[in-house]
Amino acid sequence: MDISPAKTIEWVGGSGGAARIIDQTLLPNDYKHLDINDVAAMWEAIKVLRVRGAPAIGIAAAFGLYLAVRDSEAADYSAFAAQVNEAAEYLASSRPTAVNLFWALRRIQKLVADNSSLPVPGIKALMLSEAIAMIDEDNAVCRAIGKNGAALLAARANQATCNILTHCNAGGLATAQWGTALAPVYVAAEQGRSIHVFADETRPLLQGARLTAWELQQAGIPVTLITDNMAATVMAQGKVDAVIVGADRVAANGDVANKIGTFGVAILAKEFGIPFYVAAPLSSIDMNLASGELIPIEQRKAEEVTQGFGRLTAPTGIQVYNPAFDVTPHRYITALITEKGVIRPPFDQTLMQLFQTQA
């Protein structure tokens, strides 16, 4: 099967161009691109989920940092670097949980610091080139995750069709193009394997229904949409061979922050003896945080729960608790699928070994 997901984010034009994204707030009803030309528009796009998913947010932030200083008239390096750092702090305030956002900003800031001897226009050019390079890197990383994950699926399938359950969207729409959790699905399909996906709708913003189901349908992958509270029944009926989800941040001990509801899916998978895999690039692993308890969890507006998509579904003035993510303890995770291979417990040891080899 020939699969080529749409490009979630790309740069169009030269130095005076724009970051072009798929506006994911409009899917699945409208498929439209949005060209972002300034840092405020990029901050808003990240905040309101026009662009979302940890890897895609990182690339978007890198472009946003370039856009913030593209028209800077700073004459010397010190003034320019101050503007870069101020813009990075601003972009970092858009969403707190996905570590890729901060990873990408730090990467561009380091690039600026390492090239302080260059004239300001030269540094600007390097910033844009680095952000564009992140797209090619992300595609290579996701393809590697896909190959590593597809090998796991080949070993796990107990029937002609391999049935995968996923939660939220960690497909191409969450990265530059190929996805993390869905990359193994795409690669397996390319290899001629029969793959079917159960997609949790993922309350309250329905990323599974609006994005994952749409994306898989566009790619020609058989997909069945279920509500979040159907996962236990589907597993109990023996219809799921493996669960694969993405990650917004992985702590050094293997705890994983992902879309709210992931923890419950992991508990169910353990109950029914189903492997629970987390697909994540190394850039989503935060070795500076000892455990998931230290991961900052974004709290979102009550209206997403009480009047999602414009219609009031709860009493006016009701108190709402709306965390965007939860943390799945490492004991529920069978393995992490990364671009460098499949990482298994004990994660506090295997992750440290992995990063020591990358140093």
Residue 187 within a domain: yes
Q: What is the mean pLDDT of residues 100-111?
A: 97
Domains contained in the chain, number: 2
Q: What is the mean pLDDT of residues 254-279?
A: 98
Residue 123, pLDDT > 90, answer yes
Contact 280, 149 (CB under 8 A): no
Give the pLDDT confidence score for residue 157 in this predicted structure.
53
List pLDDT tens digits, range 287-303: 999 999 999 999 999 99
Q: What is the mean pLDDT of residues 99-103?
A: 95
127 and 216 in a single domain? The answer is no
353 and 320 in a single domain? The answer is yes
Residue 51 within a domain: yes
Domain boundary, last residue among 112, 137, 162: 137
List pLDDT tens digits, range 40-91: 999 999 999 999 999 999 999 999 999 999 999 998 999 999 999 999 999 9
318 and 174 in a single domain? The answer is yes
- Please list the active-site residues: 248
Find, among 321, 298, 327, 332, the residue nearest to 46 by Cα.
298
216 and 308 in a single domain? The answer is yes
Residue 359, pLDDT > 80, answer no
Q: What is the mean pLDDT of residues 280-284?
A: 96
List pLDDT tens digits, range 145-200: 999 999 998 865 556 899 999 999 999 999 999 999 999 999 999 999 999 999 99
Residue 4 within a domain: no
pLDDT band per the 50, 70, 90 thresholds, residue 310 = confident
126 and 156 in a single domain? The answer is no
153 and 132 in a single domain? The answer is no
The total number of residues written for the chain in this structure: 359
Q: What is the mean pLDDT of residues 246-255?
A: 98
Residue 142 within a domain: no
CA angle 35, 187, 275 (to 5 degrees): 110
CATH at 14: 1.20.120.420
65 and 172 in a single domain? The answer is no
Give the pLDDT confidence score for residue 158 in this predicted structure.
56
Domain boundary, last residue among 113, 137, 161: 137
CATH at 335: 3.40.50.10470
221-238: b or e for each residue (b if 16 or more CB lie within 10 Å)?
bebebbebeebbebbeee
Give the pLDDT confidence score for residue 98 in this predicted structure.
87
273 and 169 in a single domain? The answer is yes
326 and 253 in a single domain? The answer is yes
28 and 154 in a single domain? The answer is no
Residue 143 within a domain: no
Q: How far apart are CA 214 and CA 218, in angstroms?
A: 6
Q: What is the residue range of 178's domain? A: 148-358
